[in-house]
Amino acid sequence: MVKEEKQYAIIAGSGLQELAAESAEQKVTTEFGDPSSPIRVLLYGDRSVLFLGRHGDDFLIPPHKINYRANVKALQQLGVDCIIGMNTVGVITADAHPGEIALPDQLTDYTHDREHSIYDGTNAIVNVEFTEPFSGTLRKALLAAAAIAKVDVRDGGVYAVTQGPRLETAAEVDRLERDGADFVGMTLMPEASLAMELGMQYASLSLIVNYAAGRSENAIHAEVDASTMAAKSKAVAVLAALFDADA
């Protein structure tokens, strides 16, 4: 569907690394260190899309220990223009459910102590404008791809980014809701703002895998196990429609 020659990359999280299981690898390092894993090259027809698993190949890197700066910088060094962040989330709002996917249009950052900026006292600071944290162009392309793939996507919503790795308390989720949040996850920041600092478009394709803490009778992990596959296959169908050169 996307016709222009932009270089796309996917940064994926829980349960998604097998998307790139057999792909060719590119090792790259950055001034911030090594990315979480080698960069894989996915082929959609003639189009190559780069793929990075943010938790590492062995899935040992927790959300608060991810080297987000190295990850985003490595993709910039490889010429990436557009990053699709795939993030699993819990849902707070009542009108979306586990097994569905969402394209948030705002975020609130509750993380702390993460290396969150390329500006570290050695380079001239730019206070990037982050009013709209996601690329409107990329969101529109993903929505159009979802329509082609006949996949329902919850369009918009606020993604609250928590520190993890523990899940939230019920009272914390109530607070997030009072703050206007629709979804809660741990990995969107500082990935999204680093992409902005490094001049790349970014959007989050969020996989809803559970009701947020205190919002369901079910154990959270049981819900995650029951719904991840459905959300994942929807996200994969959207990506296939986005990158299918013939569509």
Neighbours of 219 (CB within 10 A): 10
Nearer to ligand HPA among residue 23 and residue 216 (C-beta): 216
Closest CA to 224 of 167, 180, 181: 167
- Which stretch, 44-52, 82-90, 131-139, 236-244, contacts ligand HPA (CB under 6 A)? 82-90
Instruction: Identify the helix (H) or strand (E) that includes residue 187.
Output: none
User: Cα separation of 88 and 157, whole Å?
Assistant: 14
Nearer to ligand HPA among residue 74 and residue 212 (C-beta): 212
User: Cα separation of 22 and 70, whole Å?
Assistant: 23
Tokens at residue 223, please? Answer: 């819900």
Q: Does 161 bind ligand HPA (CB under 6 A)?
A: no
Nearer to ligand HPA among residue 82 and residue 220 (C-beta): 220
Q: Does 15 bind ligand HPA (CB under 6 A)?
A: no
Given a contact cutoff of 8 angstroms between Cβ atoms, the answer to whether 208 and 102 are in contact is yes
Q: How far is the CB of 156 from ligand HPA (least distance, A)?
A: 19
Q: Does 162 bind ligand HPA (CB under 6 A)?
A: yes
Site for ligand HPA in 163-192 (CB under 6 A): 167-168, 184-186
User: Cα separation of 122 and 131, whole Å?
Assistant: 25
Secondary structure (H, E, C), 113-126: CCCCCCCCCCCCCC
Given a contact cutoff of 8 angstroms between Cβ atoms, the answer to whether 171 and 69 are in contact is no
Q: Does 90 bind ligand HPA (CB under 6 A)?
A: yes
Q: Does 103 bind ligand HPA (CB under 6 A)?
A: no
Q: How far is the CB of 28 from ligand HPA (least distance, A)?
A: 27
Q: Does 9 bind ligand HPA (CB under 6 A)?
A: no
How many residues touch ligand HPA under the rule CB under 6 A: the total is: 12
For residue 164, count CB atoms less than 10 angstroms from its CB and return exposed for 0-12, middle for 13-18, buried for 19 or more: middle
Considering only 17, 67, 76, 210, the residue that binds ligand HPA (CB under 6 A) is: 210
Amino acid at 71: N
Q: Does 204 bind ligand HPA (CB under 6 A)?
A: no
State which residue has the least CB distance to ligand HPA. 90
Q: Which residues bind ligand HPA (CB under 6 A)?
A: 88-90, 162, 167-168, 184-186, 209-210, 212
